[in-house]
Amino acid sequence: MYAPERQREIVRRARRDGRVEVNVLADAFGVTTETVRRDLTRLERRGQVRRVHGGALPVEQLGFELHHEERMALHRAEKERIGTTAAELVPEEGTVLIDAGTTTARLVEAFPTDRELVVTTNSLPLAQSLITRPNVTVLMPGGRLRPRTLAQVDVWTQRVLAELHVDVAFIATNGMSAEHGLTTPDMAEAEIKRAMIRSGGRVVLLADSTKYGQRHFIRFGDMQQIDVLITDEGLDEQAAKELRGLGVDVRCV
């Protein structure tokens, strides 16, 4: 097993069991404890686990929300593929809503430049990127700007979104599952995501496969409200089958 494969398995076990221990991992993989410690150090630097005495905990268990810059570095290749595929669902003309997030940021990077669109986003970085695109009118709803995610939230944002009906809404999430739906750590962002889902004529969820099975503090939607899920090939077949059974068009790229 190569180091990247071993590290993915460590994260999977941490999320499944709530904790991993160095000695147990070393025995399971047939490597030294020092090798496992180096793996855990790399995973901690990438923001996927937090080291504790004798092992590590998944960041989700700590209720820990990474900063925007830290999340941008995670699963970069997968997010780029997801964003490029999502760009194919941007309409030829009309209105689009884009949620704040690092995977939706990859959509903006691949955003088409050959069509007239009105795009609303609650993300300051995404608005700054979109404004450079020809023929795109960018709207921001206003509201309080969260430093951790650079997303606009609270009552002002909600009021504007409540008045919108867009052709396609591109949504991000921190966690997803057939059983628990869509979840996020922050109550204010959850309210905005609910409003975005209600505003979309078609709702497209952009989420890498590591989000599946994660359950965060606030539930903001059901998988049945999602028309299309664009994720990566790391999503296991059983999970994809469960989601398709709920009527979700699952696309693994």
Residue 71 confidence (pLDDT)? 52
Residue 45 confidence (pLDDT)? 76
What six digits make up the tokens of 157? 């944002």
Average pLDDT over residues 210-217: 84
Tell me the average pLDDT of the chain.
91
Q: pLDDT tens digit string along 75-111?
A: 688 999 999 999 999 999 999 999 999 999 999 999 9
Label residue 60 by pLDDT band (50, 70, 90): low
In the chain, how many H helices and how many E strands? Answer: 10, 15
CA-to-CA separations, 232 to 110, 118, 168, 193, 240, in angstroms, rounded:
17, 28, 21, 22, 11
Average pLDDT over residues 55-84: 71
For the chain, percent of residues with pLDDT exceeding 70: 94
Average pLDDT over residues 53-69: 67
Q: Is the pLDDT of residue 72 over 80?
A: no
> Contact, 231 vs 173, CB < 8 A?
no
Q: pLDDT tens digit string along 125-176?
A: 999 999 999 899 999 999 999 988 999 999 999 999 999 999 999 999 999 9
Where do the domains of the chain lie, and which CATH numbers do they carry? 3-62 (1.10.10.10), 69-252 (3.40.50.1360)
Q: Is the pLDDT of residue 116 over 80?
A: yes
- Amino acid code (one letter) for 7: Q
Paired sense of beta strands 144-146 and 200-206, if any = unpaired
Q: Is the pLDDT of residue 62 over 60?
A: no
For the chain, percent of residues with pLDDT exceeding 90: 75
Q: What's the pTM value of the predicted model, to 2 decimals?
A: 0.77
Largest interatomic CA distance in the chain? 58
- Amino acid code (one letter) for 87: A
